[in-house]
Chains A and B, each alone.
Chain A
Amino acid sequence: DAGVIQSPRHEVTEMGQEVTLRCKPISGHNSLFWYRQTMMRGLELLIYFNNNVPIDDSGMPEDRFSAKMPNASFSTLKIQPSEPRDSAVYFCASSLGQVGNEQFFGPGTRLTVL
């Protein structure tokens, strides 16, 4: 079975450019999570969705960050405009959305903003 799929795996962009990260959750999972990993701050939850609805976006650092989940099989995390401090590994995870269910993580997107 395919796990969580993220694209691209690596992204290098220049400051000020728009960046879009993509995630396809495991089929049948109804919860989706976006995390960011940096050396300084570790793994942080940015936002999560249940049944395609954003539940908690308090971890989104600034208005430059936005996330959407137009359907159960696709989500995007957009940064506009990007800044060097956004450089990090961004992980998407999905789960069945019930107590006790494991979150399955994708391989991550390594973003470098020059």
Chain B
Amino acid sequence: AQSVTQPDIHITVSEGASLELRCNYSYGATPYLFWYVQSPGQGLQLLLKYFSGDTLVQGIKGFEAEFKRSQSSFNLRKPSVHWSDAAEYFCAVGLSGGGADGLTFGKGTHLIIQP
């Protein structure tokens, strides 16, 4: 069965600084990988997804993620964070790209932005 590990439960970053959130997955075949963001009291919003092709994926709100097969990782990055980026971030893996199958989520990383 597939699994997702987000090693960092909390991360604190100063506003304007760069950000990297880690995600490692375990899956036997080529994975479909996702990053979602959850603001307090809200549902989840898709930031970006990787299915195949270019290993560097661009998403919304200035986020990007890089798929590294050799490291089984799909880390999320942003060059300069804004206070509005404070939220919970979830990495997820899907068998069929999420459309027709359920997703397996990591436990999430809580991002705190310092002024």
Contact = CB atoms under 8 A, between A and B. Distances in A.
Interface of A: 4, 31, 33, 35, 42-45, 48, 50, 56, 59, 91, 93, 95-103, 105-108
A91 B44 contact: yes
B57 to A, nearest CB: 13
Interface string B22-44: 00000000001000100001111
A91 B98 contact: no
Interface residues of B, number: 25
A111 to B, nearest CB: 14
Nearest to B52: A100
A98 B92 CA distance: 17
Given A42-B105, A43-B105, A45-B104, A105 B43 contact: yes
Contacts of A100: 32, 49, 51, 97-99
A106 to B, nearest CB: 5
Nearest to A33: B102
A97 B44 contact: no
Task: Say what secondary structure dominates the interface of chain B.
Answer: loop
Given A95-B98, A101-B99, A102-B98, A42 B43 contact: no
A42 B107 CA distance: 5
Interface of B: 32, 36, 41-46, 49, 51, 90, 92, 96-108
Nearest to B6: A42
Given A43-B105, A105-B44, 4 more contacts: A43-B108, A45-B103, A48-B102, A100-B49
B109 to A, nearest CB: 11
A56 B102 contact: yes
A91 B41 CA distance: 12
A31 B105 contact: no
Given A4-B43, A91-B44, A102 B49 contact: yes
Given A99-B96, A99-B97, A45 B46 contact: no
B99 A103 contact: yes
A31 B44 contact: no
A31 B99 contact: yes
Contacts of A4: 43
